[in-house]
């Protein structure tokens, strides 16, 4: 149950995390490939920002679900049963 919920959460989170990370990396790419006078500081900053965002993305996608499972097991949290919702009726409809 825990592994399935962690897998589902990771599956739901992958697209927005990748979109934000790629947008940021493409945004700082001109810094990483800068040329001309004074470009050394721009290249250093662009390279470090790109590396930081890529590593943070990998950590967020891989280690957060694993850490979730480890913490739940360490504290002995038992999974709750899934509640079945009652069928919804609209006003004026009779239930059988």
pLDDT digits (tens, 9 = 90+) for 11-24: 888 899 999 999 99
Identify whether 88 is part of a domain: no
Cα→Cα distances 25→2, 7, 60, 74, 91, Å: 33, 26, 16, 36, 52
pLDDT of residue 23: 96
pLDDT of residue 4: 82
Identify whether 27 is part of a domain: yes
Range of the domain at 30: 2-74
Identify whether 83 is part of a domain: no
Provide the token pair at 52: 């930081």
Identify whether 84 is part of a domain: no
Total of domains in the chain: 1
Identify whether 9 is part of a domain: yes
Identify whether 79 is part of a domain: no
Identify whether 93 is part of a domain: no
Identify whether 34 is part of a domain: yes
Residues of the chain predicted below pLDDT 50:
none
């Amino acid at each position: 149950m825990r592994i399935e919920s962690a897998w589902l959460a990771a599956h739901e989170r992958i697209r927005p995390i990748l979109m934000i990370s790629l947008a940021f990396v493409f945004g700082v790419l001109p810094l990483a490939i800068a040329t001309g006078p004074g470009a050394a500081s721009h290249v250093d900053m662009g390279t470090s920002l790109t590396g930081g965002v890529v590593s943070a993305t990998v950590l967020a996608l891989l280690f957060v679900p694993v850490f979730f499972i480890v913490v739940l097991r360490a504290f002995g949290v038992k999974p709750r049963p899934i509640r079945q919702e009652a069928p919804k009726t609209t006003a004026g409809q009779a239930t059988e």
